[in-house]
Amino acid sequence: MSSGFVKRSVGDVLMRLHKSFPVIGITGPRQAGKTTLARQSFPEKPYVTLEDPDQLDFARTDPRRFLAQFPDGAIFDEVQRCPELFSYIQGVVDENQVMGEFILTGSQQFGFREHVSQSLAGRIGMLHLLPFSSQELRLHGGAERSLDETMFRGFYPPVHHRTVLPSDWYASYVQTYVERDVQQVLHVKEMNNFRLLLKLCAGRAGQLLNLSGIGNDAGVSHNTIKEWLSVLEASYITFRLQPHYQNFSKRLIKSPKLYFYDTGLLCWLLGIRSADQLAVHAMRGAIFENYVIAELAKHYYSTGDIPPLYFWRDQSGLEIDLIIEDAGKLTPVEIKSGQTLVADFFKGLNRWTTLAGDTAGDPVLIYGGQADQQRTGAHIYGWQSMADIPSRLES
């Protein structure tokens, strides 16, 4: 793919927030394209990165004079590095009452959220920007790739804009961004244990989260694992899919499941170094499930919504990979990596739909093939069509 700007799905939401709030906050993982989005969307605004030591020192030691340089607002990148700035921005926007005056980006939710809630509540419109979606790449004219190539490469912009092997890029990403963020936030000394944690989490993608089990395998305490995972989640590396609370008179599993926002990073952590290796890997099914759920999460974030995504599992073994809650309906989604449709794919959906009764939406099956189908009682989507599911639920 060329280095041209990929039109991001969140663009319309960004423009809407720009007209409604004096401050816009764009959060997401490092290298997801936050800076590019902000600068391309607001080219007239001065740009300052607070990763620059001189700019950071200026903002910390004399925030009033620092802000006075920008009478018409500015883009401040990685603003969580200067928490002192938030209350002074509040003072400026309260006085000026200008919509879209400041654009703030941040790659860690810790400092960002805390200071937003303290100083900018009611004044800031928040936007979450994740790596590219499959749909964004296709609309931009990205190369046609197989499912395995798509999942292996992942969706971070540099992997698509540069001539770089995905494995080389993800190795550098973990060392220069993920590990650095953990050091800055928690001052972790046992980096070998943390690297092991990352790989252990990758090996458990799509599984119920067991902090004690991961801690035992990593050789650290339950509380340490809890802290480390909180940083991975705050840095948009991993996320938890919560179980849906509707029990239908059944005893439910209450633990969340663990997923990664990007399958390219997930593959690298699993030691997968080519699409051919992925095609025969024991975790291919779990990686495909991760891919589908992350893609749907991207869709909802791109519309400004919190993803209404859950899973459902009871203690008798009945499980639905994904529940989409929309307009009072619960749509069950089964995810299968196989390219050939077989009757067994529908058993869990049929059992759950009978159990759920009137609360159930039309069942959905997403599989590793390409053909979309409409069968009695189920919508079937190939892997390339999953982005259409939320809009079809709303129609």
Distance CA 271, CA 200 (A): 12
| Same domain assignment for residues 274 and 212 | yes
Distance CA 89, CA 262 (A): 33
| Same domain assignment for residues 74 and 163 | no
Domain holding 318: CATH number?
3.40.1350
Question: How high is the pLDDT of residue 110?
Answer: 65
Is 217 part of a structural domain of the chain?
A: yes
Tens-digit pLDDT profile for the chain (395 aa)?
444 568 999 999 999 999 999 999 999 999 999 999 999 999 999 999 999 999 999 999 999 999 999 999 999 999 989 998 999 999 999 999 999 999 999 987 666 877 788 899 999 999 999 999 999 998 887 778 999 999 999 999 999 999 999 999 999 999 998 888 888 777 777 788 899 999 999 999 999 999 999 999 999 898 999 999 998 998 999 999 999 988 887 788 889 999 999 999 999 999 999 999 999 999 999 999 999 999 999 999 999 999 999 999 998 889 999 999 988 899 999 999 999 999 999 999 999 999 999 999 999 999 999 989 887 778 999 998 877 777 776 65
Residue 75 lies in domain: 11-128
Residue 143 in tokens: 């190369």
Main-chain dihedrals φ then ψ at residue 302, nearest 5 degrees: -70, -15
Reference 229, options 268, 198, 199; nearest CA is 198
Reference 101, options 15, 14, 19, 23; nearest CA is 23
| Same domain assignment for residues 174 and 111 | no
Is 5 part of a structural domain of the chain?
A: no
Q: Is the overall model pTM greater than 0.75, yes or no?
A: yes
| Same domain assignment for residues 157 and 182 | yes
Residue pair 169/155 in contact by the 8 Å Cβ criterion: no
| Same domain assignment for residues 187 and 325 | no
Question: How high is the pLDDT of residue 115?
Answer: 79
Is 107 part of a structural domain of the chain?
A: yes
276 alpha carbon, distance to own chain's centre: 26
Distance CA 191, CA 193 (A): 5
Is 1 part of a structural domain of the chain?
A: no
Contacts of 313 (CB under 8 A, 6+ apart): 243, 252, 253, 319, 320
Domain holding 232: CATH number?
1.10.10.10
- DSSP secondary structure, 9-27, as one string: TTHHHHHHHHTT-SEEEEE
Count up the domains in the chain and report the number. Answer: 3
**Of 302, 325, 354, which marks where a domain is finished?**
302
| Same domain assignment for residues 54 and 146 | no
* CA dist list (Å): 316 to 251, 253, 313: 8, 10, 8
